[in-house]
Homo-oligomer: A and B are copies of this chain.
Amino acid sequence: MSSSELNETLELRLKFDEQGLIPAIVCDVKDNSVLMFAFMNTDALAQTQRTGIVHFWSRSRQSLWKKGETSGESFAVEEIRVDCDQDVLQVIVKPQGQGKACHTGRRSCFYRKVEGAVLKFI
């Protein structure tokens, strides 16, 4: 399938990288906020679709990762989107638990901004 066909097809033709992974941007259905970013493999995506609860592939642990399994901070899937060339996913979710998606206890992993050569909390 050519690149322009890939842009318009309604066939699911996901492109996983050489490690078998695809990036997944997780956004809150409430206001589109980016909550976190992680990777899925085919198994994580299949489990996510089957259960309606977001699963990732943990690169550090090299294992399937049901987000929130221990913390309770899981994500219910509202919608899964693909980008034009089908090598990135956007997963729109309804956060469960207390809405602390980040392991630091914050709502989102993106809680600092770059100001020149340093960071500031936002």
Contacts and interface: CB of A to CB of B under 8 A. Distances in A.
Contacts of A12: 114, 117-119
B113 A37 contact: no
Contacts of A61: none
A39 to B, nearest CB: 10
Contact of A120 (B10, B84, B113, B116): B10
B82 A114 contact: yes
Contact of A83 (B7, B10, B90, B110): B110
Given A9-B119, A118-B12, A112 B82 contact: yes
12 contacts: A8-B104, A25-B25, A25-B34, A36-B83, A49-B114, A81-B111, A81-B112, A82-B113, A82-B114, A82-B119, A83-B110, A84-B106
Interface of A: 7-12, 23, 25, 27, 31-34, 36-37, 49, 79-84, 88-90, 102-104, 106, 109-114, 116-122
